[in-house]
Amino acid sequence: MYNFDFEKPSTIADAVAALATEDAQALGGGQTLLPTMKQRLASPSKIVSLSGISEMQGVCKGDDGSVCIGGATTHATVAASASEYPALAALASNIGDPAVRNRGTIGGSLANNDPAACYPSAALASGATIVTNARQIAADDYFQGMFTTALNEGEIITEVRFPVPEAANYQKFEQPASRFAMVGVFVAKYADGVRVAVTGASEEGVFRWTEAEAALSADFSAHALEGLSVSGEGMINDLHGSGEYRAHLVKVLTKRAVAAC
């Protein structure tokens, strides 16, 4: 990895100032960024660690009943502390492996928007709000394609707010070597309807399966999905699985998620 300047500010304001330098890069837990830098696929001139910012740590309950998670909160902390939203805690408890969960952060995962990451599906299916140092972004506007988000240069995810659903479940079909999702489906049932978000499958990154949402909002049962099909068009096609295979998994995992709710 090429060398860089290192800064570890203790406030959001200092981090924003440090990131104003050209080619500066925020560092969450580094579980994706550091391997990327080792391969020289990224070579920032400055790394700004967000791990020392106490106001971006931890899980709490908002006034409206939503679960609020600081952007620098690790997966392990979410798994242990997000008991108000059990499906979210369960998702966090199965990302990567224990040591990775002790470093990786929710803000880092959402900022990176890996097409096979778990968190984007939870954020999109929950209609979460991504809070940054500058604004609040609805999940529907935030995810803009593989590794692409609404974040501007130097913008930091300080918090993520999840409305708590009546029922929810996440099903991940793991790619056995990397443990990333070959396909992952997050189903969340709210009073005003059901939302279904799919990760791992599409070349465009996480997406909502709107046909399934309509069917499940009318009849919340796995049976309601019988007549639906997912096209393999635009699905990721690689040595781990074809587009058709991933499309098939989307329906299977959605049914499993509904059955487990």
Partner 1 sequence: MTNISMTVNGKTVSGEVEGRTLLVDFLRNDLRLTGTHVGCDTSQCGACTVHVDGVAVKSCTMLAAEADGADVATIEGQAGADGSLNTIQAAFQEHHGLQCGFCTPGMVMAAADLLKNNPKPTEAEIRHHLEGNICRCTGYHNIVKSIMAASGQDVSQLAAE
Contacting residues toward partner 1, per CB under 8 A? 1-6, 8, 27, 30-31, 34-35, 37-38, 47, 49, 51, 76, 96-100, 102-103, 179
Give least dist CB 5 to partner 1, A.
6
b/e map of 188-216 (b: 16 or more CB within 10 Å)?
bbbeeebbbbbbbbbeebbbbbeebbebb
Instruction: Please give the Cα distance from 70 to 59 (Å, whole number).
Output: 6
Q: For residue 36, what are the contacts with CB-CB under 8 A and spacing of at least 6?
A: 42
Neighbour count for residue 150 (Cβ, 10 Å): 16
Give least dist CB 45 to partner 1, A.
10
Are the beta carbons of 250 and 230 closer than 8 angstroms?
yes
Give least dist CB 57 to partner 1, A.
13
Task: Tell me whether residue 29 or residue 200 sits nearer to partner 1 (CB atom).
Answer: 29
- Tokens found for residue 21: 């330098």
Task: Tell me whether residue 112 or residue 202 sits nearer to partner 1 (CB atom).
Answer: 112
Give least dist CB 38 to partner 1, A.
7
Give least dist CB 60 to partner 1, A.
21
Task: Tell me whether residue 103 or residue 248 sits nearer to partner 1 (CB atom).
Answer: 103
Task: Tell me whether residue 109 or residue 129 sits nearer to partner 1 (CB atom).
Answer: 109
Task: Tell me whether residue 48 or residue 88 sits nearer to partner 1 (CB atom).
Answer: 48
Cα angle: 235, vertex 27, 129; to 5 degrees = 60
Instruction: Please give the Cα distance from 246 to 229 (Å, whole number).
Output: 12
Are the beta carbons of 254 and 225 closer than 8 angstroms?
yes
Task: Tell me whether residue 100 or residue 252 sits nearer to partner 1 (CB atom).
Answer: 100
Give least dist CB 52 to partner 1, A.
9
